[in-house]
Amino acid sequence: MSDDQFPGWHGTTIMGVKKGGEVVIAGDGQVSLGQTVIKGTARKVRRLSPGGYDVVAGFAGSTADAFTLLERLEAKLEATPGQLARASVELAKDWRTDKYLQKLEAMLIVSDGADIFVITGAGDVLEPEHDVTAIGSGGNYALAAGRALMDTDLTAEEVARKAMAIAGDICVYTNGNLTVESIKK
């Protein structure tokens, strides 16, 4: 089957919400191949503890590529303990300049409880303007819903869960089987 005939993997919505001294990263569990759901309970949000400092990370894109990037991020964090921004920039620089890493197809949302960043293969390390960010096939739906819910009395986790439910109702590549990790600084 040629590349242009391959139906492609779809099915991830990851979002991060920073509110009330807490950051929550939530991800759905769906993985689809073309129009077929392959798995509904994938775990795309992880807690890392390099150098004794907790970091929560969520990924969208190729799983193997994402794990490669998570391993690289852990190594950067071990070299710069407690400095997520610096480790994220170093990872993005490597990702942009290394010929092997350039081919990786994934995005990350990472947080240490104080900061939240989106790391992309284009060399970007983005900090969301409104303390809400989202990636993946349902990312825009989750982002819009999350931003609308930020001015309510809901906690960070409640915002994330409601926004992910809305994204799941709209995006056929997003389901309601959530993995939610929270972190405080």
Residues 140/141/146/149 CA torsion (nearest 10 deg): 140
pLDDT, greater one: 175 or 63: 175
**Residues constituting the chain:** 185
pLDDT in tens, 98-157: 877 777 888 899 999 999 999 988 889 999 999 999 999 999 999 999 999 999 999 999
When pLDDT is averaged across residues 151-175 and rounded to a whole number, the result is 97
Q: With pLDDT > 70 as the criterion, what percentage of the chain qualifies?
A: 94
Distance (Å, rounded) from C-alpha 142 to C-alpha 27?
A: 10
168 assigned binding-site residue: yes
Name the token pair of 125. Answer: 């390390």
Name the token pair of 177. Answer: 């089987």
When pLDDT is averaged across residues 72-84 and rounded to a whole number, the result is 93
Domains of the chain: 9-173 (3.60.20.10)
Q: At what angle do helices 156-170 and 139-149 cross, to 10 degrees?
A: 140
**Residue 1 reports pLDDT greater than 60:** no
pTM confidence score: 0.91
174 assigned binding-site residue: yes
Q: Which residue has the tokens 């989750």?
A: 142
The per-residue pLDDT of the chain, averaged, comes to 90
Q: Given this model, what pLDDT does residue 101 score?
A: 78
Question: Hey, which residues are catalytic here?
Answer: 12
**181 Cα distance to chain centroid:** 11
pLDDT in tens, 37-49: 999 999 999 999 9
